[in-house]
Amino acid sequence: MPRISNALIRHARSIDKLLPPLLRPCRELRAAQNELRWLREHAAKVASTRNAKVRDTLLRNLVLERAKGKPLQYLLGSEYFGDLQITCRPGVLIPRQETAASVAYLARLVRQAEELPPELRVLDLCTGTGCIPLLFHDELAATRKDVRSRYLGIDISRDAVHLAHYNLQKVWRQKAYADKSVTAFVQADVLIDPFDDQNAGMPCFKAALNHYRQPPFWDILISNPPYISPSGYWSTTTRSVRLFEPELALLPPPNPDASDTERGDVFYPRLLSIAQHVEAKVVLLEVADLDQAHRVARLAQDADFFDGIEVWRDWPDQPNDAEPVELDGFPVIGQGNGRYVLCWRAQGAPWLGKDVVAKAETEPLSHYSLQPTFIYRPPSKIPL
């Protein structure tokens, strides 16, 4: 990282003496000025009844903490996620703008669909602050009064589940929704296979669904799992992320056998198998970059469960202005880094405004067994 020039520091000091420390995390004068303004507003709000001296001390302390790299979102206690103000606390990952862009884009696609199930169920794995279900509901409820929706967020961290509940109450109080949607957050470990021995302390995802009496089938699965590989953690993340945000939310758990990239991808096979379990019609998974998007898309294709796969960049609502427009047969849309992999099945295609593509596969007769097979296909809607 290039050094900040002395001239810039002098210039910043001439504007405000609190600006030079903020230049360290912000790198740019304009960004530093914005942050100082927000910190000052925050200090004025927190210490509104106190005298000016207390307020100045508070502001100085905030600026010094920020200079050490503590994320502004933790200092101010909130981050804007789409239209929502989501509370942030140390120990839980701060919601990212790119996530908001993609989730809002998906929700806007879905809310334009002509026919939606009477109860639309959205499952969010590794939910963190709970921002994804809350934003999805906010976008859906804005135009679709006819659709009841149910949301479930799952996270392994107790703090995250608590914070998600807090955010749920806060957002519902602020927005005063009138619809009959249900949102819940439960603690569970997504990575534990329900068919393994259950000897860990944390319940597996399936057990949690049963225990909290949640329906077994879900229409849309969204996940922003830990996806950074160990080498990427030390090379591509910023200092503020490494020092202050929870490693649990960024790095998949250690596994001595796996290579570096394999460790970054640990979550995706599990997420895709859960998608099959819950019969998800639309699956949206966040990834680190186009390479990982490519690997995940390939994985989804190999699962032979989806009828369409697409890669979204950071801002999927913008027209794609960079190469590649197609990644190994998967269309790439939007602007920015590769960020999301979207998979859908035939039932979910009309919700996304996609054409249903009939699978043109003719399996050779030798693949069919002459033995009668009993496949139990549960109806997609179970009365609760």
Task: Single out the residue of 198, 237, 301, 347 in contact with another protein (rule: CB under 8 A).
Answer: 237
Whole-angstrom Cα Rg for the chain: 23
Task: Single out the residue of 305, 337, 347, 350 in contact with another protein (rule: CB under 8 A).
Answer: 337
C-alpha to C-alpha distance for 220 and 274, rounded to whole angstroms:
11
188 CA to centre of own chain: 17
Part in contact with another protein (CB under 8 A); list of ranges 45-53, 74-82, 176-184, 375-383:
74-82
* Binding characters for another protein, 286-305, by CB under 8 A (x = yes): x-xx----------------
Task: Single out the residue of 57, 61, 143, 238 in contact with another protein (rule: CB under 8 A).
Answer: 238
Position 342, amino acid:
L
Q: Is 369 helix (H, G, I), strand (E, B) or coil?
A: coil
Is 261 a residue that touches another protein (CB under 8 A)?
no
Shortest distance, CB of residue 238 to another protein, whole angstroms? Answer: 5
**Tokens (6 digits) for 27:** 């790198």
Task: State residue 92 phi and psi, 5-degree precision.
Answer: -130, 135
- Residues between 130 and 169 that touch another protein (CB under 8 A): none
**Helix and strand numbers, DSSP H then E, in the chain:** 14, 11
Task: Single out the residue of 312, 339, 345, 349 in contact with another protein (rule: CB under 8 A).
Answer: 339
Shortest distance, CB of residue 213 to another protein, whole angstroms? Answer: 32
C-alpha to C-alpha distance for 307 and 355, rounded to whole angstroms:
10
Is 252 a residue that touches another protein (CB under 8 A)?
no
Beta carbons within 8 Å of 235's beta carbon, 6+ residues apart:
none
Q: Give me the residue label for tokens 């966040």.
A: 286
Interface residue list for another protein (CB under 8 A): 26, 30-31, 34-35, 38, 71-73, 76, 79-80, 82-83, 85, 93-94, 96-100, 224, 226-228, 232, 236-238, 240-241, 245, 249-250, 286, 288-289, 314-315, 318, 336-337, 339
